[in-house]
Amino acid sequence: MTEEVNITASYALAKMLESGFDQAQVSVTISELDELNIMHNQPSLLRSNEDHALNLTGIIDGRKAVVALTDLSRDTIDDNIDALI
């Protein structure tokens, strides 16, 4: 999954620069949570969760635009970049 996130971040950066941003920055956050619940000395729940976040920051005409995304689909990235301009 990490490789997919890197590809998505590269796509978002290229799309921002292509859309006319003078400067652009993309940061990716991947957080993992493993949880184990124990009841009466017996494991009762084992749960894992992985979250991804994509933060886009750009400067266009001296103005700063920022958006944070958790949906990493290309359509969502495109829509949000277009909304920033």
Question: Tens digits of per-residue pLDDT, 22-69?
Answer: 999 999 999 999 999 999 999 999 999 999 899 999 999 999 999 999
Instruction: Tell me the whole-structure pTM to 2 decimals.
Output: 0.79
pLDDT band at 1 (very low <50, low <70, confident <90, very high): low
Pick 2-84's CATH classification: 1.10.287.110, 3.30.300.30, 3.30.2290.10, 3.30.70.1450: 3.30.2290.10
Q: How far apart are CA 62 and CA 69, in angstroms?
A: 23
Q: Are 30 and 50 in contact (CB under 8 A)?
A: yes
**Dist. CA 45–CA 56, nearest whole Å:** 36
The neighbour count for residue 28, using CB atoms within 10 Å, is: 15
Alpha helices in 2-73 (DSSP H): 2-18
Half-sphere exposure of 79 (CA within 13 A, CB side): 8
> What pLDDT, on a 0 to 100 scale, did the predictor assign at position 2?
76
Residue among 51, 73, 72, 66 at smallest CA distance from 16: 66
